[in-house]
Structure formats: C-alpha cells, structure tokens
Amino acid sequence: MIIYERKYSVNVFDTDHTGKLCSGAIFNYFQDLAGRHASLLGFGREHLMTNGSFWVLSRITVEIENLPLAWEEVTLRTWPRGTETIFALRDIELYDANGKRLAAAATSWVVVDYQTRKLQRPDKALSHLNSTFPDTKALSANAVKIPAMPVDNHSVINTKVSSGDLDVNLHVNNARYIQWVLNSYDPQFISTYTPHTIDVNYLSEAHFNDEISIYKASGKEDGTCFFHSLVRNNDSAELCRIRIKWRKEKL
C-alpha cells in the first residue's frame, strides 16, 4: 500500500468555462489523495493530532501535459519518498482512463505544532516506513523554491478570506490560493493558454477576515510566465508565491 491509487470522476463543478478540469480542482484532488493515503499508512492528520501536530503543504511543483474533460474518469497515484531536511516528500500522478499520464506533482510537506504553529521535524512520523519508500520519482526534481516576484510592472487585485476558504486547521485551504490567482486572468487568456508548470510556495497562514492583495507580474516578454505574490494587508506578510508557466492550448 506504499503506492496508492484511487479513481475520481471529473464533475462539472470541477471544470472551468473551457469544459476541462481546472487547476484549482487538481490541487483539491491531490490534497484529498495525499490525506487519504497518509491516514491509511498511519500518519494522517488524525494520527499526528494525538501529539498536537498536523500536516501543512509547503511546496508543490505540478507539470501538466493535458487536462481531462467533464465526466471523464481519471486515476490518481501517490507515494511518499521519505524526508529531506524539514520536508516530507510525496509524489502524485494523474492518468486518464487509457492509462496516459496527464499530470504529475512533487510535493513537500511540513509538520506543524497546532498550538505554537512552529515546525517539527517529520522524521519521527515517517521513521517506521523509511526502508520501504519507492525510489521512483514523478518529476525529475523536488518542488522548487520560487524567487521573489519582480517588483516592476505588476498588477494587483484584492480579496478577503471568508468562511468557505478555510480548512479543518482554520487557515486558508491550499487550493484556494490557486483559484484566487486564476481569477486574475481573463476568460480569453484561459481559453487560449493552459498551465504547463505550476510552482507554489506556501509561506504563512491566512485566516478568516484577512484582507489579501494578489500581485501579478510577467516573467517573460511573450506573456507565457507569470509570478504571483499574495500579501496580507494589515502586516505585509507574504503568504504565498506562485509561478505559472503557460502554453498555447492544444487544438
């Protein structure tokens, strides 16, 4: 069970105006699969909470080859890959009904103390599995650290954290950041381009009623790479960095 698979149906509410699975839904699928597998292996949130800690996604790199349409059935596959410094590593793959790989992700997780919000080393939670982790990698490298967003020629939109943005840990769910960022693109751009690589670094927690500025700057002159920085307005804390590399939609 060290490699875990589960089928998902692409519901209409998981798609955007193109009729394809939207990037925010992909992150929800990945989060659901990782949580289910961790629980089956005995180190899920319910197990960590007995020691007053919980999992937080810190970094993720997603490479997308294609996106499924509404009502298609997909298979997700995941496995843990041990630890690296403070990070617990987990890979995820997305396949269509014919077994063709559509997307893959490298994720880095941290263990956080529920009361103090301080990081804990993940080794104890995973030590009983260290000898059984697969050597297989979904991507050639682990999730990357994103540089600071270019300071020139940026645009900004604003949002406010509502109850529907929160997860069980009472902070903003990781997939919501992606959806907020995608809302900064107009429908014509989304119809013309599709995400090829999405890198995300989660830097700090956002909570109910936080007012957030979402900054956007182009990383290439041809408009196929954008940096995003999400900043809480009352203390200027950077909450999240996102870099999306786009490519022309396949016809």
Contact 159, 1 (CB under 8 A): no
pLDDT for residue 223: 79
Q: Using 50 as the pLDDT threshold, list the residues of the chain that sit under it.
A: none
Per-domain residue ranges of the chain: 1-144, 145-251
Sign of CA dihedral 169, 50, 28, 133: positive
pLDDT for residue 118: 84
* CA gap 247, 194 in Å, rounded: 6
Which CATH number is correct for 1-144, 3.10.129.10, 3.30.420.40, 3.40.50.720, 3.90.1150.10?
A: 3.10.129.10
Burial annotation 6-30 (CB, 10 A radius, 16+ → b, else e): eebebeeebbbebebbbbbbbbbbb
pLDDT for residue 4: 95
pLDDT for residue 192: 94
pLDDT for residue 251: 59
Its CATH architecture, for the domain 145-251, is Roll (3.10)
Same CATH fold assignment for domains 1-144 and 145-251: yes
Q: What is the pTM of this model?
A: 0.93
pLDDT for residue 153: 78
Q: Which amino acid is at 154?
A: H
pLDDT for residue 21: 97
